[in-house]
Structure 1
Amino acid sequence: MLARKAETAKTIVRSQEFYNVDKLEWAMSVFREVMQVISLVYAPARICIPPMETDLGYKLFISSDILDAVEDKQVNVYRDVYNHILKPAIEEEKPDVIGISIVLSQQLFSSMTFCSMIKEDFPGIHITIGGNTVTRLRDVLPESSNLFSLFDTVIMHEGETAFLQLINAIGTDRDFSTIPNLIYKNCNGIYTSTVTTAEDMARLPPPDFDGLPLDKYFVPDKILSYLATRGCYWGKCEFCDHGEGYTAGYRTKNIDQIIEDINYLKNRYQVTHFHFPDESYPPALFKKLTKKLIEADLHIVWSTHLRFEESLLDNGVWETAEEAGCKFLHMGFETGSERVLRLMGKATKTEQIQQSLELSSMHGVWNHVMGFFGFPGETYEDARSSMQFLENNKEHVHSIGFGTFDLTKYSPVIKSAEKFGVTYNKNPEWDLALDYYFTVKNGLGIEEAERVLGEFEHNHYKGWDLKIYIREYLFLYVSHFGTNKLTFLQLRSNMMPPQ
Structure 2
Amino acid sequence: MQKIEVKQYLVGLELVKMLSLPIMKTLLIFPAQWYPTQPYLSTPYLTSYLRAKGWEVDQRDFNIASYDQFLSAPLLKNAESLMAQRLQTLKNQKSLSIKEKSHMDVLAMGLKFSDRIITGVEEAKSVLRTPERFFDFPSYQQADMVIKSALKLVSDAHAPSVFSLSTFESGTRAEESTRRAHEASRDQATNPFIHLYERILIPGENWQNYDVVGISIIGISQIIPGLTLARLLKEKFPHLHITLGGPIFSVNSGQLIGHPEFFEDFCHSIVTFEGEEPLHRLLTALKAGDALSTVPNLIHLDGREVVHNKERVELRFEEIPGPTFDGLPMHNYLSPYPIIPVLQSRGC
Instruction: Give TM-score, length-normalised by structure 2.
Output: 0.63
Aligned to 2:125: 10
- Structure with the bigger RCO (C-alpha within 8 Å, sep 6+) is 2
For 2:223 and 2:232, locate their aligned partners in 1 and report how far apart those are by CA, in whole Å. 14
* Secondary structure of residue in 2 paired with 1:4: helix
Aligned to 2:136: 20
Cα shift at 1:56: 4.1
Cα shift at 1:95: 1.5
Among 77, 84, 87, the residue aligned to 2:192: 77
Cα shift at 1:189: 2.1
Aligned to 1:91: 206
For 1:126 and 1:60, locate their aligned partners in 2 and report how far apart those are by CA, in whole Å. 23
Cα shift at 1:18: 0.5
Whose helix fraction is larger, Structure 1's or Structure 2's? 2
For 1:199 and 1:3, locate their aligned partners in 2 and report how far apart those are by CA, in whole Å. 48
Q: Could you report, residue by residue, the CA deviation over 1:222-280 in whole angstroms, capped at 9, with x for unpaired residues?
A: 11112132224xxxxxxxxxxxxxxxxxxxxxxxxxxxxxxxxxxxxxxxxxxxxxxxx
Aligned to 2:30: none
Among 184, 188, 202, the residue aligned to 2:300: 184
Cα shift at 1:156: 0.8
Change (3 A) 1:63 1:31: same
1:339-378 residue pairs with structure 2 within 5 A? none
Change (3 A) 1:133 1:33: same
Aligned to 1:279: none
For 1:78 and 1:53, locate their aligned partners in 2 and report how far apart those are by CA, in whole Å. 11
For 2:340 and 2:149, locate their aligned partners in 1 and report how far apart those are by CA, in whole Å. 29
For 2:168 and 2:239, locate their aligned partners in 1 and report how far apart those are by CA, in whole Å. 33
Aligned to 1:143: 258
1:81-230 residue pairs with structure 2 within 5 A? 81-91=196-206, 94-149=209-264, 150-230=266-346
For 2:261 and 2:207, locate their aligned partners in 1 and report how far apart those are by CA, in whole Å. 30
1:84-483 residue pairs with structure 2 within 5 A? 84-91=199-206, 94-149=209-264, 150-232=266-348
For 1:38 and 1:61, locate their aligned partners in 2 and report how far apart those are by CA, in whole Å. 23
Q: Structure 1 residues 110-119 or 137-146, which shifts more?
A: 137-146
Are 2:186 and 1:45 aligned? no
Preserved contact between residue 58 and residue 69 of structure 1 (Cα < 8 Å): no
* Secondary structure of residue in 2 paired with 1:227: coil
For 1:93 and 1:124, locate their aligned partners in 2 and report how far apart those are by CA, in whole Å. 8
Cα shift at 1:159: 0.4
* Secondary structure of residue in 2 paired with 1:225: coil
Among 29, 33, 37, the residue aligned to 2:149: 33
Aligned to 2:64: none
For 2:159, the aligned partner's letter is A
Q: Could you report, residue by residue, the CA deviation over 1:170-228 in whole angstroms, capped at 9, with x for unpaired residues?
A: 14232221211111213252212122111122221101111011111000111111213
Preserved contact between residue 207 and residue 226 of structure 1 (Cα < 8 Å): no
* Secondary structure of residue in 1 paired with 2:337: coil
Cα shift at 1:88: 1.9
For 1:60 and 1:227, locate their aligned partners in 2 and report how far apart those are by CA, in whole Å. 28
For 1:74 and 1:94, locate their aligned partners in 2 and report how far apart those are by CA, in whole Å. 32
For 1:94 and 1:173, locate their aligned partners in 2 and report how far apart those are by CA, in whole Å. 19
For 1:102 and 1:94, locate their aligned partners in 2 and report how far apart those are by CA, in whole Å. 23
Q: Structure 1 residues 110-119 or 90-99, which shifts more?
A: 90-99
For 1:181, the aligned partner's letter is N
Change (3 A) 1:44 1:105: closer
For 1:87, the aligned partner's letter is I
Q: Could you report, residue by residue, the CA deviation over 1:392-449 in whole angstroms, capped at 9, with x for unpaired residues?
A: xxxxxxxxxxxxxxxxxxxxxxxxxxxxxxxxxxxxxxxxxxxxxxxxxxxxxxxxxx
Cα shift at 1:4: 2.7
Q: Structure 1 residues 173-182 or 209-218, which shifts more?
A: 173-182
Cα shift at 1:92: 5.7
Instruction: Give TM-score, length-normalised by structure 1.
Output: 0.44
Name the Cα RMSD after superposition. 1.8
For 2:288, the aligned partner's letter is T
Gaps of 5+ in 1: 233-499
Q: Could you report, residue by residue, the CA deviation over 1:345-369 in whole angstroms, capped at 9, with x for unpaired residues?
A: xxxxxxxxxxxxxxxxxxxxxxxxx
Gaps of 5+ in 2: 1-115
Q: Could you report, residue by residue, the CA deviation over 1:18-65 in whole angstroms, capped at 9, with x for unpaired residues?
A: 011221111111012112222343234333223x15444343212211
For 2:190 and 2:344, locate their aligned partners in 1 and report how far apart those are by CA, in whole Å. 40
* Secondary structure of residue in 2 paired with 1:184: strand
Preserved contact between residue 181 and residue 193 of structure 1 (Cα < 8 Å): yes
Cα shift at 1:134: 0.7
* Secondary structure of residue in 1 paired with 2:176: coil
For 1:179, the aligned partner's letter is V
